[in-house]
Amino acid sequence: MRLWFLGNGPFAAACFRILAKETPFLRVITAPPRPAGRGLHFRPTPVEDAAREAGYTPTHSFRLSEEPALVQFLATERPDALVVIDFSQFIRSPFLNTPPWGCLNVHPSLLPLYRGAAPVPRAIMDGAEETGVTVFRLVPEMDAGPILAQERHPIPPGATSGEMLESLAKSGSQMLAHVLQSRQLGVCAEYAQDPLHATYAPKVLPGEALIDWEASAWVIWHRVRALNPAPGAYAILKDGRRLKIWKAFPREGEGIPGGLAGEREGCPLVACGTGVLELTEVQAEGRNRTEGSSWWRGQPSGDSLGIFQRTGRP
């Protein structure tokens, strides 16, 4: 098999690490390093890090279909398939239709459900109890191509996006490896998606990470899990500082939304529109993550949370 790998993000990097153990790639293509963090230092993509760990020198691409050098590489290297995962670019001609097996993608949802950039966070935000992973062939329409393999996965209570993506990357990579072997033997079937059942999972916007205490404790809990590890849900303390909330749990209770409703084993209980939220792991500005009880012991006495400063809802 002659394969290229195209990807950028953590999910793609996790898939690459698994696939590269058994599957050689002619070329690894990823976005170039970009300024990131407070110091705006140039940071490579997770796929570039994974590729260099495996001994590959990745090729950088801003706009794949508009770069003559890559078009030339496609003609001379003649890959059987392009493996495209978490790449953040639309694949167009000649890359989409030149490889004999097409462009193959691992998508962490049960397509046609949750097409788009954030399928796992959106599923968890929705309170879904099940998701899955799909291997499909790319077509011009986003995430709409024919399905080659699909597997269901439960979302365990309390599971975060990071935990689910790790599990789905493992399953999806194994499925893709099987699909590639079947393609090589010429026995891989595919079936069309039903567009009438399509739903969409747009990218998570920065404003969605701000917690709305008027929502129910269950809705907030889903959001905390959905946004872990990135970007991380947060609230605004009365003094204007941010408090990231990494782990929490909904419980029965009541109070003024955003205010202190009591404690449980030393952890603060914050009143929500319905119920209360126990903060079990948090991160104050400029600090490391810590248990909710440890953070709470260091706060001034009284209701330091209060109603956070915001307008509108995510």
Q: For each successive 10 residues of the chain (314 residues), what is the average pLDDT?
A: 97 98 97 81 94 97 92 97 96 95 98 98 98 98 98 97 98 97 91 97 96 95 98 90 96 92 93 95 95 90 50 38
Based on the fold, state whether residues 23 and 93 are members of the same structural domain: yes
Based on the fold, state whether residues 182 and 59 are members of the same structural domain: yes
What ranges in the chain are assigned the alpha helix state H? Answer: 10-19, 46-53, 68-77, 119-125, 161-185, 217-226, 292-297
Structural domain ending residue among the three candidates 163, 178, 197: 197
Which pLDDT score, from 0 to 100, does residue 302 have? 53
Pick from 167, 169, 105, 112: nearest CA to 144: 112
Structural domain ending residue among the three candidates 173, 197, 221: 197
27: domain CATH number is 3.40.50.170
Based on the fold, state whether residues 65 and 163 are members of the same structural domain: yes
Helices 10-19 and 46-53 cross at an angle (nearest 10°) of 20
Based on the fold, state whether residues 137 and 184 are members of the same structural domain: yes
Structural domain ending residue among the three candidates 154, 179, 197: 197
The DSSP letter of residue 56 is: -
Q: What is the DSSP string of 248-274?
A: EEEES---STTSEEEEETTEEEEE-SB
Residue whose pair of structure tokens reads 């970009």 in the numeric block: 34
Q: Specify whether the CB–CB gap between 64 and 95 falls below 8 A.
A: yes
218: domain CATH number is 3.10.25.10
Which pLDDT score, from 0 to 100, does residue 301 have? 66
What is the Rg, in whole angstroms, of the alpha carbon atoms belonging to the chain? 22
Q: Of all residues in the chain, what percent carry a pLDDT higher than 70?
A: 95
Based on the fold, state whether residues 87 and 125 are members of the same structural domain: yes
Q: Which domain holds residue 63?
A: 3-197
Based on the fold, state whether residues 191 and 276 are members of the same structural domain: no
3-state helix, strand, coil in the chain (%, to 5): 25, 25, 45
Based on the fold, state whether residues 73 and 169 are members of the same structural domain: yes
Tell me, yes or no, whether 306 lies in a domain. no
Question: pLDDT tens digits, residue range 60-85?
Answer: 998 998 899 999 999 999 999 999 99
* C-alpha count within 13 angstroms, C-beta hemisphere, residue 142: 17
Which pLDDT score, from 0 to 100, does residue 124 have? 98
- Could you give the number of structural domains in the chain? 2
Question: pLDDT tens digits, residue range 220-266?
Answer: 999 999 999 999 999 998 878 899 999 999 999 999 898 889 999 99
Based on the fold, state whether residues 177 and 241 are members of the same structural domain: no
